[in-house]
Protein backbone atom coordinates (compact mmCIF):
# COMPACT_ATOMS: atom_id res chain seq x y z
CA UNK A 1 0.00 0.00 0.00
CA UNK A 2 1.49 3.34 -1.01
CA UNK A 3 1.63 6.35 1.32
CA UNK A 4 -0.57 8.41 -0.97
CA UNK A 5 -3.21 5.69 -0.90
CA UNK A 6 -3.04 5.65 2.90
CA UNK A 7 -3.37 9.42 3.20
CA UNK A 8 -6.18 9.52 0.59
CA UNK A 9 -8.11 6.89 2.47
CA UNK A 10 -7.52 8.78 5.74
CA UNK A 11 -8.99 11.94 4.21
CA UNK A 12 -11.98 9.97 2.92
CA UNK A 13 -12.46 8.41 6.36
CA UNK A 14 -12.24 11.85 8.02
CA UNK A 15 -14.79 13.35 5.62
CA UNK A 16 -17.21 10.42 6.08
CA UNK A 17 -16.78 10.67 9.84
CA UNK A 18 -17.34 14.45 9.82
CA UNK A 19 -20.57 14.18 7.76
CA UNK A 20 -21.90 11.43 10.04
CA UNK A 21 -20.86 13.54 13.07
CA UNK A 22 -22.72 16.62 11.80
CA UNK A 23 -25.82 14.48 11.28
CA UNK A 24 -25.51 13.25 14.91
CA UNK A 25 -25.16 16.88 16.07
CA UNK A 26 -28.56 17.63 14.48
CA UNK A 27 -30.05 14.42 15.98
CA UNK A 28 -28.90 15.48 19.48
CA UNK A 29 -30.89 18.73 19.20
CA UNK A 30 -34.10 16.98 18.05
CA UNK A 31 -33.69 14.24 20.68
CA UNK A 32 -33.21 16.80 23.45
CA UNK A 33 -36.21 18.81 22.26
CA UNK A 34 -38.47 15.73 22.58
CA UNK A 35 -36.92 14.54 25.87
CA UNK A 36 -37.50 17.87 27.57
CA UNK A 37 -41.26 17.05 27.47
CA UNK A 38 -40.47 14.50 30.22
CA UNK A 39 -40.19 17.52 32.54
CA UNK A 40 -43.40 19.15 33.84
CA UNK A 41 -43.03 22.23 31.63
CA UNK A 42 -46.77 22.28 30.78
CA UNK A 43 -49.98 20.63 32.07
CA UNK A 44 -50.00 18.32 29.05
CA UNK A 45 -46.29 17.53 28.95
CA UNK A 46 -46.92 13.76 29.40
CA UNK A 47 -49.34 13.65 26.47
CA UNK A 48 -46.91 15.68 24.35
CA UNK A 49 -44.04 13.31 25.18
CA UNK A 50 -46.22 10.23 24.49
CA UNK A 51 -47.39 11.75 21.19
CA UNK A 52 -43.80 12.51 20.16
CA UNK A 53 -42.67 8.99 21.17
CA UNK A 54 -45.60 7.45 19.28
CA UNK A 55 -44.86 9.56 16.20
CA UNK A 56 -41.16 8.62 16.40
CA UNK A 57 -42.13 4.96 16.72
CA UNK A 58 -44.68 4.77 13.90
CA UNK A 59 -44.09 7.43 11.22
CA UNK A 60 -42.38 5.93 8.14
CA UNK A 61 -40.25 9.04 7.47
CA UNK A 62 -38.93 8.74 11.04
CA UNK A 63 -38.34 5.00 10.51
CA UNK A 64 -36.09 5.80 7.52
CA UNK A 65 -34.42 8.49 9.63
CA UNK A 66 -33.80 5.85 12.33
CA UNK A 67 -31.99 3.58 9.85
CA UNK A 68 -29.88 6.54 8.65
CA UNK A 69 -29.22 7.44 12.30
CA UNK A 70 -28.01 3.94 13.20
CA UNK A 71 -25.84 3.88 10.04
CA UNK A 72 -24.41 7.31 10.98
CA UNK A 73 -23.58 6.05 14.50
CA UNK A 74 -21.86 2.89 13.19
CA UNK A 75 -19.95 4.77 10.45
CA UNK A 76 -18.85 7.54 12.84
CA UNK A 77 -17.54 5.03 15.40
CA UNK A 78 -15.92 2.73 12.83
CA UNK A 79 -14.11 5.58 11.04
CA UNK A 80 -13.00 6.99 14.40
CA UNK A 81 -11.47 3.66 15.45
CA UNK A 82 -9.76 3.13 12.07
CA UNK A 83 -8.32 6.67 12.05
CA UNK A 84 -7.11 6.26 15.62
CA UNK A 85 -5.33 2.99 14.80
CA UNK A 86 -3.79 4.72 11.76
CA UNK A 87 -2.61 7.61 13.99
CA UNK A 88 -1.11 5.29 16.60
CA UNK A 89 0.76 3.35 13.92
CA UNK A 90 2.00 6.57 12.27
CA UNK A 91 3.11 8.00 15.62
CA UNK A 92 4.99 4.83 16.45
CA UNK A 93 7.00 4.87 13.23
CA UNK A 94 7.22 8.50 12.13
CA UNK A 95 7.47 10.76 15.15
CA UNK A 96 10.04 10.58 17.88
CA UNK A 97 8.57 13.57 19.72
CA UNK A 98 4.81 13.83 20.18
CA UNK A 99 3.32 17.12 18.96
CA UNK A 100 2.32 19.33 21.88
CA UNK A 101 -0.26 21.75 20.45
CA UNK A 102 -3.61 22.11 22.23
CA UNK A 103 -5.45 20.69 19.21
CA UNK A 104 -3.31 17.56 19.06
CA UNK A 105 -3.79 17.13 22.82
CA UNK A 106 -7.57 17.25 22.34
CA UNK A 107 -7.52 14.96 19.29
CA UNK A 108 -5.47 12.45 21.22
CA UNK A 109 -8.16 12.19 23.87
CA UNK A 110 -11.24 12.41 21.65
CA UNK A 111 -11.16 8.64 21.11
CA UNK A 112 -11.56 8.10 24.87
CA UNK A 113 -14.40 10.59 25.30
CA UNK A 114 -15.98 8.79 22.32
CA UNK A 115 -15.49 5.44 24.09
CA UNK A 116 -17.38 6.74 27.15
CA UNK A 117 -20.26 7.85 24.88
CA UNK A 118 -20.27 4.40 23.26
CA UNK A 119 -20.57 2.78 26.71
CA UNK A 120 -23.34 5.24 27.56
CA UNK A 121 -25.19 4.31 24.35
CA UNK A 122 -25.02 0.59 25.25
CA UNK A 123 -26.64 1.32 28.63
CA UNK A 124 -29.05 3.83 27.10
CA UNK A 125 -30.25 1.38 24.42
CA UNK A 126 -30.72 -1.22 27.16
CA UNK A 127 -32.85 1.34 29.08
CA UNK A 128 -35.12 2.36 26.17
CA UNK A 129 -34.44 1.44 22.56
CA UNK A 130 -34.03 -2.34 23.08
CA UNK A 131 -37.36 -2.38 24.97
CA UNK A 132 -39.04 -0.93 21.88
CA UNK A 133 -37.32 -3.54 19.71
CA UNK A 134 -38.49 -6.26 22.14
CA UNK A 135 -34.90 -7.39 22.90
CA UNK A 136 -35.09 -6.31 26.57
CA UNK A 137 -38.01 -6.38 29.03
CA UNK A 138 -39.10 -3.13 30.67
CA UNK A 139 -38.12 -3.01 34.40
CA UNK A 140 -40.85 -5.00 36.22
CA UNK A 141 -40.96 -2.48 39.07
CA UNK A 142 -41.95 0.26 36.61
CA UNK A 143 -45.38 -1.48 36.25
CA UNK A 144 -45.77 -1.07 32.51
CA UNK A 145 -48.66 -3.01 30.94
CA UNK A 146 -47.38 -3.30 27.36
CA UNK A 147 -43.79 -2.20 26.95
CA UNK A 148 -44.04 0.05 23.91
CA UNK A 149 -42.77 3.50 23.04
CA UNK A 150 -45.91 5.02 24.65
CA UNK A 151 -44.46 3.98 28.02
CA UNK A 152 -41.07 5.62 27.64
CA UNK A 153 -42.26 8.41 29.96
CA UNK A 154 -43.02 5.91 32.76
CA UNK A 155 -39.71 4.11 32.18
CA UNK A 156 -37.74 7.40 32.25
CA UNK A 157 -39.45 8.56 35.46
CA UNK A 158 -38.93 5.13 37.04
CA UNK A 159 -35.21 5.03 36.13
CA UNK A 160 -34.38 8.57 37.20
CA UNK A 161 -36.39 8.36 40.42
CA UNK A 162 -35.47 4.86 41.62
CA UNK A 163 -32.15 3.94 40.05
CA UNK A 164 -29.58 6.47 41.26
CA UNK A 165 -26.83 4.60 39.40
CA UNK A 166 -28.41 5.64 36.07
CA UNK A 167 -28.64 9.29 37.15
CA UNK A 168 -24.93 9.30 37.92
CA UNK A 169 -24.01 7.36 34.78
CA UNK A 170 -26.07 9.67 32.57
CA UNK A 171 -24.72 12.84 34.21
CA UNK A 172 -21.07 11.74 33.91
CA UNK A 173 -21.65 10.70 30.29
CA UNK A 174 -23.11 14.11 29.43
CA UNK A 175 -19.93 15.80 30.71
CA UNK A 176 -17.89 13.57 28.36
CA UNK A 177 -20.39 14.30 25.58
CA UNK A 178 -19.70 18.03 26.03
CA UNK A 179 -15.92 17.54 25.82
CA UNK A 180 -16.34 15.28 22.76
CA UNK A 181 -18.64 17.77 21.00
CA UNK A 182 -16.40 20.72 21.80
CA UNK A 183 -13.51 19.28 19.81
CA UNK A 184 -15.58 17.24 17.35
CA UNK A 185 -17.64 20.18 16.12
CA UNK A 186 -14.62 22.28 15.09
CA UNK A 187 -12.80 19.25 13.79
CA UNK A 188 -15.70 18.35 11.46
CA UNK A 189 -15.82 21.86 9.98
CA UNK A 190 -12.05 21.89 9.49
CA UNK A 191 -12.12 18.48 7.78
CA UNK A 192 -14.89 19.57 5.44
CA UNK A 193 -12.84 22.64 4.49
CA UNK A 194 -15.55 24.97 5.74
CA UNK A 195 -12.93 27.27 7.26
CA UNK A 196 -13.64 30.84 6.29
CA UNK A 197 -12.11 34.16 7.43
CA UNK A 198 -15.48 35.67 8.24
CA UNK A 199 -17.54 32.64 9.32
CA UNK A 200 -14.96 30.49 11.16
CA UNK A 201 -15.04 32.57 14.40
CA UNK A 202 -18.85 32.32 14.33
CA UNK A 203 -18.73 28.53 13.71
CA UNK A 204 -16.21 28.12 16.55
CA UNK A 205 -18.37 30.22 18.87
CA UNK A 206 -21.49 28.28 17.92
CA UNK A 207 -19.62 24.97 18.49
CA UNK A 208 -18.58 26.11 21.97
CA UNK A 209 -22.09 27.25 22.91
CA UNK A 210 -23.62 24.06 21.45
CA UNK A 211 -21.20 21.78 23.31
CA UNK A 212 -22.14 23.44 26.60
CA UNK A 213 -25.88 24.06 26.12
CA UNK A 214 -26.85 20.65 24.66
CA UNK A 215 -25.21 18.48 27.39
CA UNK A 216 -26.55 20.88 30.06
CA UNK A 217 -30.02 20.48 28.53
CA UNK A 218 -29.73 16.68 28.81
CA UNK A 219 -28.42 17.01 32.38
CA UNK A 220 -31.53 18.89 33.49
CA UNK A 221 -33.63 15.68 33.09
CA UNK A 222 -31.85 13.34 35.58
CA UNK A 223 -31.04 16.33 37.82
CA UNK A 224 -34.74 17.26 38.02
CA UNK A 225 -35.66 13.77 39.24
CA UNK A 226 -32.69 13.66 41.63
CA UNK A 227 -33.82 16.91 43.26
CA UNK A 228 -37.64 16.77 42.99
CA UNK A 229 -38.31 13.08 42.21
129 binds ligand HEM (CB under 6 A): yes
Instruction: Centre a 10 Å sphere on the Cβ of residue 184 and count the other Cβ atoms it contains.
Output: 26
State the binding string over 70-99 for ligand HEM (x if CB under 6 A, else -): ------------------------------
Q: Which residues of 196-229 are buried (b: 16+ CB within 10 A; e: fewer)?
A: eeeeeeebeeebeebbeebbebbbebbbebeeee
Name the minimum Å distance from CB 90 to ligand HEM.
Answer: 29
225 binds ligand HEM (CB under 6 A): no
Name the minimum Å distance from CB 42 to ligand HEM.
Answer: 17
117 binds ligand HEM (CB under 6 A): yes
State the binding string over 4-33 for ligand HEM (x if CB under 6 A, else -): ---------------------------x--
204 binds ligand HEM (CB under 6 A): no
Q: Which residues of 30-67 are buried (b: 16+ CB within 10 A; e: fewer)?
A: ebbebbbbbeeeeeeeeebbbebbeebeeeeeeeeeee
- Which among 113, 114, 128 has a CA at the least distance from the CA of 38? 128
Q: Identify the residue among 132, 181, 183, 225 touching ligand HEM (CB under 6 A).
A: 132
State the binding string over 30-69 for ligand HEM (x if CB under 6 A, else -): -x---x--x--------------x--xx--------x--x
Q: Identify the residue among 152, 166, 176, 189 touching ligand HEM (CB under 6 A).
A: 152
Q: What is the CA radius of gyration of the chain?
A: 20
Contact predicate 57/151, CB 8 Å? no
Q: What is the DSSP string of 42-85?
A: STTHHHHHHHHHHHHHH-HHHHHHHHHHHHHHHHHHHHHHHHHH
- Pick between residue 67 and residue 98 the one whose CB is nearest to ligand HEM: 67
Binding site for ligand HEM (CB under 6 A): 31, 35, 38, 53, 56-57, 66, 69, 117, 124, 128-129, 132, 149, 152, 156, 170, 177, 218, 221-222
Amino acid sequence: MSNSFLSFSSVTKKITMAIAGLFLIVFLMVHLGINLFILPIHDEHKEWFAAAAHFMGTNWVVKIFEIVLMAAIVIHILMGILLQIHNWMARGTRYKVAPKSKTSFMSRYIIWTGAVILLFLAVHFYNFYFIKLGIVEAPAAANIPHPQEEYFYEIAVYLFTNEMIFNILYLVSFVFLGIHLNHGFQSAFQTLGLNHKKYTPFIKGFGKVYSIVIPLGYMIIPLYFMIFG
